Structure 1
Amino acid sequence: MASLTTMEKLILFHKLERDLFHRLVHDLAQDPMPMRWVIAFWLWLESNGHHDFIRRVSALPGPVVLRFVDEAIACLRCLAREGHGPAAGTGDGSDGRERCLPCTNVLLTKRIDDVGYFEGHREVLDGVTYQYRSVCLAVCDVSSKSVPTNTSGVLAAPPMVGSPVLTAPTVASFPLNPMASPWIPLQSPPPDDYRSLFITFSRGYPINREDIMEFFNSVYGPCVETVMIEKVAPGQLPVYGRMVLRSAAMIPVVLNGRQTAKFLIKGRHLWARIYVPSSKLSYA
């Protein structure tokens, strides 16, 4: 049996990154070139001590993965500016909330407060470029999952601000592949308390659990495990509930980086915030 070539060994070693790249391009309809840079950025995060970042992203449903892509692209834009871009809220078209990294920070060992951290950090740009050159050009091949036949292409510069290929993706913009394999978490889910949201309704206008589950699963993918509604006496209406998510990583996604998020479900309002266990609350 012939021994593996250096290229084949590299591809086998980075199978996870290669599979995620194919999922981004083929299942989630992303442009291949910026996705190579996104993978390179995530590889740099792992090399900087944020271990298992890519594996944990890979275990998430498609709409959530696109949120991580969106944040990675924002960081790449700052790297491309090399410190010359505008500060938050000073004309770059984004406010402070949009510049934070609610999804990415969930998987980091040390929080990054703002994408502005990457402005002017030449060493980060060098690290990401190294991952792009040494790994992504070789293993992130768009045509097939076989060994790429041409990996000697000239290294392109990181996509600059305003480049059309770095237009931030949104969940609604990219249809999911209905034939794609379902996502399966690679670890046992944490206790319910750590992946729950406390939900409240307008007094006199509760929302049933089926409508809540249908709404959030349709917007964010299959993210809700169960919904529990306040246990009330006959003739009374519930005013709160608890929504258990399949992954704790979904909490900042649903809240969009805020402490409280407001939703409109079939004409009725629902507020969500991080769940804090309380013995005074009871659910049916």
Structure 2
Amino acid sequence: MDTPLIVTKSPITRKEVHLFYQMDRELFCFLIFKLNRDVTQSLLVMALWLWFEKVGCHNLIKKISFLPGTLINALVNEAVTCLQFLEMDDRNIPIGGGLPLTKIIIQKEISLHMFNLKRYTSVTGIKIVLNQICARIFNDILQIVLKRQNTIVTQGTASRTHTANIPLTLPGFPHPLFGTFDLSPTIENINLSDERIWIEKRPYDDDDDATTDDDRSMFLTFSRGFPVSEMEVRCLFTTNYGDCLQSLTMGGNKNQGEQPLFAVMILKMVELVDQILMGKRVSKLQINGKHIWARKYEPRV
């Protein structure tokens, strides 16, 4: 979707948004109604493909839309493989990279190895596309599908009126990777100049409010008996990754003279998390002969 837009200050309507994303909406419907794919799975696949478009795979949705159904179904299977791969702790990459058809369609080097090295960048990008684009352009379709499913489930045990009052929920959400999903976003009366879904570039910028502190946080641990100072931690990461720290909080009770055994670090860009981990769950670093273990910070729910 490379059509340039003239940004104005006039409010937009739901119809205009749907028209702009007509091809994306038609492909989403094709996955659900023609290929009979699961609605949640189809939504995540569309989020992945839209993220691909935003990071350089131009016109991907258009290319996929013109393919026969059997090839589209095969591409969906590869997309599902990507999404499942991101959820795995032990990630084994098959010979050839595991995404042969996707590689042909996008005409770029792509494999599960890329998702291994850029796991948190990918997760954050897909999550943002899911909530800031998909939630708005597929909302009415999701409402129809979920209401129909609720009607089928409750048929014979509840009236239509009662069924209509059942709160709609999207199966699988909150998602372990992508968090919550809003089934009723408001898009009317939003200025084009402020509306993220009209921006034809990356789905988010690292210096804006699209990524959260949790997206960019890491948990550090230190060895007992080998005290590591805050200055040493800052020196280690700024020397290797430049001006990367947003904040650093050392653990332990300073008033009681306790040795910090852990720290929580918030980085300025989510890509830095992947650079530090290099595809591993835990990265082992060293400064002044003392070890520091770094892993992605996972906040308690």
What's the TM-score bracket when you normalise by the shorter of the two chains?
Answer: 0.3 to 0.5
Higher Rg:
2
Higher share in helix: 2
Q: How does the TM-score come out when normalised to structure 2?
A: 0.35
